Amino acid sequence: MAAQGGNRPTLYLEIMEELRRQIREGRLRPGDRIPSERELAAQFGASRMTVRHALNQLAWDGIIVRRQGRGSFVAEPKIPLGLQFLTSFSEDMRRRGLTPSSRLLGVGVTEADPATAEALGLLVDRRVTALRRVRYADDRPLSVEYVQVPYRLLPALADHVRQVFKGKSRSDFSLYAFFARAGIGLERARQTVEATVATPDLARLLQVAEGAPLLLLTRVSYDGSGRAVEMVRAWYRGDRYRYETELVRPPAVDPTGAAPAAVGWEAPVQTQGRQG
């Protein structure tokens, strides 16, 4: 579709909408190369500056990615992370038709630092089994996670993990499935999410640029008796994930903006998990 009319103010919007339409209709698929600035300028009768403005806006919106010296490409769709259910990474990926796997970076028994010991309720025996791994979906790295499990809960965990990964570069091992086989049922979790950037080590493992945006998830999961079972810190690629949640109005909210009446309402604790 060629547009006429030079560099009128709305032309960059027309370029954006045409590219969005081609992506929506599947004519341009994730990973496909977008026509060059020169090609788009000729197609739309626009200056390269106008085309560049349109492409930069699409990149800002997460629709495309621009790679220095290589051009622009359709971005992979972001995976939504909700805040409603305590599910594992493996469960999430399979539900989306993706194949999960992990690469083991290290596993062993160590002593928890004071903050972790407090979060896990370790008053006497502060030993934890620590597991660090890269999580993949369809062979693409999505997150790096560091899990700590009270040693007394599963003394054989480290040996089991070593055996599972022995001689393998990757495995589909699921920690949550291992919990279930051991009779440990997770029922709830408390989780925080914050923005961070990729350190040199994380950038290498996740195959992103140093300083690229990441989501850092910190979670403590509990069984039905309220016992802490795991503490997880996971770094997710910001270009592959977005967070979603559903908000509800609290009761007795005054539409004029006045403070709600004291009716004993408390915001529900959101639970969510993605790593097992």
The string of pLDDT tens digits covering residues 95-144 is 777 788 999 999 999 999 999 999 999 998 999 999 999 999 888 899 99
The pLDDT value recorded for residue 68 is 78
Enter the tokens of residue 46.
């626009």
Domain with CATH 3.40.1410.10 in the chain: 79-243
* Low-confidence spans in the chain with pLDDT less than 70: 1-9, 78-88, 252-276
Domain with CATH 1.10.10.10 in the chain: 11-74
Contact 48, 87 (CB under 8 A): no
Enter the tokens of residue 35.
């026509």
**Helix H or strand E encompassing 129:** strand 127-137
Which residues lie closer than 8 Å to 162 by C-beta, 6 or more apart?
Answer: 107
**Fold observed for domain 79-243:** Chorismate lyase (3.40.1410)
> Rounded to whole angstroms, what are the CA distances from 114 to 44, 123, 226, 231, 244?
62, 10, 20, 13, 32
**Fold observed for domain 11-74:** Arc Repressor Mutant, subunit A (1.10.10)
Tell me the backbone φ, ψ of residue 27, rounded to 5 degrees.
-75, -30
